[in-house]
């Protein structure tokens, strides 16, 4: 594509950057004889027509958002043109790299320099907020460092213009996982304070060389954002209290832009801002904190759920010893909690790039713009082996049209033709795999936990049910002990009403789960969910799945 002439005036040169949504080209404006940068929206080439319309609208909104902001620290948009049925954005060319590049090359940035960078980003954000624009994706990769010493904020591609909500679908959360403010993870509307929180996370990354909340998966990263305090920065110097103030969980407890600007100005001069200390909560080295003070630490069951979901999300403490094999049989008390991981049962907001189609969340996992891996994103590898001819399994009686899947996680089952495998989450010993025919409206989830928190499936389901009371219209149909594959198990069926703010598939839903312990102590949970109106057919499908199920296939 190099050498292509766009709109009769912009000659493309070499590609100077790319990400999950687009590619940036160096170009020459042959009318004004100047170098420019042109952003090509490549993601629109690989999505459905409906999602393409959303992407195109976002690209135009990016140009409108940036055009509303008149500030030297915001990359200037010169033009928007149409080519090949797509909009291309012509922007100011900044010779240099990003803050993410600087951290990658140097390991970390000196605190006073980071404060100077943060000061200019904050000024850009103040100008944007004054113009009624929220950036919503502040991160090191979107902070440009010019060779001339300038600092500029770029990529308003997911910005929100005040009063314009036409291009964000209901329930959609947009941004980079590591830099999403806690209130956004919880599904609340963002505000200027959300951009300031992202700035705090960006400055932490700059001085420490690592994101404060990055974990092993997008879901556990989001949990850390909501529930955990970042490790004390070791290299932040006078910037440390400013970062702490910006990273307060409660948006009302953060400094406003004017206060933050003063703090950053002092830190850039090498002075520790006294005003910032008032925003940083006292940490206790040991013992019990004073009455009324909440100890920071892992979430326990029954606290505020994360993230926004249309169904139950089980969240509880992490870390602890791995238990031995569970006791056999259908009885037995739940052991004391050790390490608890995320086990999500119903149709949560999917963690996938928009190219996955039919999703309710767009997240960017890192400054390299890799699409996030949880939810409904297709598994890149390994893939399940599907065979069209049914084989024999204990008690199996499946329709001839059903397809056998030998899943790489270590189980086998039959499903109707057309059901696709997607990795929902891999979190240590807990692996959750989805199969769906339609992007998640109907889906089967298999959870395989080789070191479960409970040795009694019934007690585990009771524990999960306690966290479902937040669901609209939750009602238990049944929850009872049973025997499955000659092992003690538990069957749970329930209904609820999924909300439009949480999912692309709102309305009455129904779900059923069979959980049992294998002889080697692995907990298997087979869960299916669909709209309530389809439940009769879905339930019959689930019975056939249970008949065809095989654990630990080779």
Residue 366's CB: how many other CB atoms inside 10 A?
19
Q: DSSP assignment of 71-124, as one string?
A: -TTBPPEEEEEEETTEEEEEEE---EEEHHHHHHHHSS--HHHHHHHHHHHHHH
Fold held by 5-92: Phosphorylase Kinase; domain 1 (3.30.200)
406 carries an active-site annotation: no
CATH class held by domain 96-277: mainly alpha
The CA distance from 462 to 54, in Å, is: 41
pLDDT, tens digit, 9 for 90 and up, residues 116-175? 999 999 999 999 999 888 888 899 999 999 999 999 998 875 555 444 443 343 334 455
Mean pLDDT to the nearest integer, 394-409:
80
Q: What is the pLDDT of residue 312?
A: 35
Q: What is the pLDDT of residue 16?
A: 86
Specify the domain boundaries for CATH 1.10.510.10 within the chain: 96-277
Q: Which residues pair with 404 in a beta bridge?
A: 387, 414
Of 87-96, 234-243, 248-257, 473-482, least confident by mean pLDDT is: 87-96
Residue 465's CB: how many other CB atoms inside 10 A?
17
Higher pLDDT, 55 or 293: 55
pLDDT, tens digit, 9 for 90 and up, residues 440-499? 999 999 999 998 888 899 999 998 888 787 788 999 999 999 999 888 999 999 999 988
pLDDT, tens digit, 9 for 90 and up, residues 72-119? 999 888 888 888 877 788 989 999 999 999 999 999 999 999 999 999
Q: What is the pLDDT of residue 310?
A: 35
Give me the sign of the Cα torsion angle 240, 177, 24, 62.
negative
Peptide bond into 410 cis (omega under 30): no
- Tell me the two tokens of residue 71: 């500030």
Q: Is the pLDDT of residue 207 over 90?
A: yes
Most confident of 51-65, 287-301, 396-410: 396-410
Mean pLDDT to the nearest integer, 10-17:
90
3-state helix, strand, coil in the chain (%, to 5): 25, 25, 45
Q: Is the pLDDT of residue 267 over 90?
A: yes
Q: Is the pLDDT of residue 509 over 70?
A: yes
Specify the domain boundaries for CATH 3.30.200.20 within the chain: 5-92
Annotated active-site residue in 29, 137, 367, 449: 137
Q: What is the pLDDT of residue 454?
A: 86
Higher pLDDT, 306 or 532: 532
Mean pLDDT to the nearest integer, 220-234:
91
Q: Return the percentage of the chain with pLDDT > 70, whole number.
A: 71
pLDDT, tens digit, 9 for 90 and up, residues 34-46? 999 998 876 556 5
Is 123 within 8 Å of 261 (Cβ atoms)?
yes
Burial class (CB in 10 A: 0-12, 13-18, 19+), 503: buried
Specify the domain boundaries for CATH 3.40.1000.10 within the chain: 313-317+339-380+402-551
How many CA within 13 A on the CB side of residue 228?
Answer: 18
Q: Is the pLDDT of residue 254 over 90?
A: yes
Is 518 within 8 Å of 502 (Cβ atoms)?
no
- For 4, which DSSP code? P
CATH class held by domain 313-317+339-380+402-551: alpha beta
């Amino acid at each position: 594509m190099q050498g292509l002439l766009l709109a009769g005036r912009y000659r493309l040169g070499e590609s100077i950057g790319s990400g999950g949504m687009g590619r940036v080209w160096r170009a020459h404006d042959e009318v004004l004889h100047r170098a420019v940068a042109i952003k090509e929206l490549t993601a629109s080439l690989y999505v459905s027509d409906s999602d393409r319309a959303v992407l195109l609208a976002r690209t135009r909104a990016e140009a409108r958002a940036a055009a509303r902001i008149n500030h030297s620290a915001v990359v200037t948009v010169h033009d928007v043109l149409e080519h090949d049925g797509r909009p291309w954005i012509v922007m100011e060319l900044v010779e240099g790299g990003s803050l993410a590049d600087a951290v990658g090359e140097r390991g970390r940035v000196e605190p006073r320099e980071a404060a100077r960078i943060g000061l200019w980003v904050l000024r850009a954000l103040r100008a944007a907020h004054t113009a009624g624009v929220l950036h919503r994706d502040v991160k090191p990769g979107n902070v440009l460092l010019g060779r001339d010493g300038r600092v500029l904020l770029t990529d308003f591609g997911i910005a929100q213009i005040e009063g314009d909500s036409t291009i964000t679908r209901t329930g959609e959360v947009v941004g980079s996982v590591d830099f999403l403010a806690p209130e956004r993870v919880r599904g609340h509307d963002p505000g200027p304070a959300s951009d300031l929180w992202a700035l705090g996370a960006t400055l932490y990354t700059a001085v420490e060389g690592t994101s404060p909340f990055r974990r092993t998966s997008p879901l556990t990263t989001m949990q850390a954002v909501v529930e955990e305090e970042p490790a004390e920065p070791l290299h932040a110097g006078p910037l440390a209290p400013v970062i702490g103030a910006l990273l307060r969980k409660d948006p009302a407890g953060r400094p406003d832009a004017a206060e933050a600007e003063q703090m950053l100005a002092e830190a850039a001069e090498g002075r520790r801002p006294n005003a910032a200390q008032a925003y940083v909560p006292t940490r206790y080295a040991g013992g019990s904190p004073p009455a009324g003070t909440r100890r920071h630490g892992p979430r326990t069951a029954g606290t505020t759920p994360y993230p926004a979901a249309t169904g139950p999300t089980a969240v509880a403490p992490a870390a602890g010893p791995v238990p031995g094999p569970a006791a056999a049989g259908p009885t037995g008390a739940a052991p004391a909690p050790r390490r608890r991981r995320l086990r999500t049962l119903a149709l949560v907001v999917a963690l996938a790039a928009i190219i996955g189609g039919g999703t309710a969340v767009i997240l960017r996992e890192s400054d390299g713009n890799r699409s996030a891996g949880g939810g409904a994103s297709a598994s890149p590898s390994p893939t399940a082996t599907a065979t069209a001819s049914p084989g024999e399994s204990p008690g199996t009686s499946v329709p001839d049209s059903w397809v056998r899947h030998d899943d790489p996680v270590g189980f086998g089952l039959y499903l109707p033709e057309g059901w696709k495998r997607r990795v929902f989450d891999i979190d240590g010993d807990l692996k959750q795999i989805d199969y769906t025919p339609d992007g998640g409206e109907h889906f089967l989830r298999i959870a395989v936990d080789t070191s479960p928190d409970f040795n009694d499936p019934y007690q585990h389901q009771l524990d999960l049910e306690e966290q479902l009371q937040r669901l609209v219209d939750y009602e238990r149909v049944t929850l009872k002990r049973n025997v499955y594959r000659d092992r003690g198990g538990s069957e749970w069926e329930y209904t609820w009403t999924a909300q439009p703010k949480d999912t692309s598939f709102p309305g009455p839903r129904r779900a059923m789960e069979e959980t049992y312990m294998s002889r080697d102590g692995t907990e298997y949970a087979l869960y299916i969910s669909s709209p309530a109106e389809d439940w009769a057919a879905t339930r019959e499908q689930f019975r056939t799945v249970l008949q065809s199920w095989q654990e630990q296939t080779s």
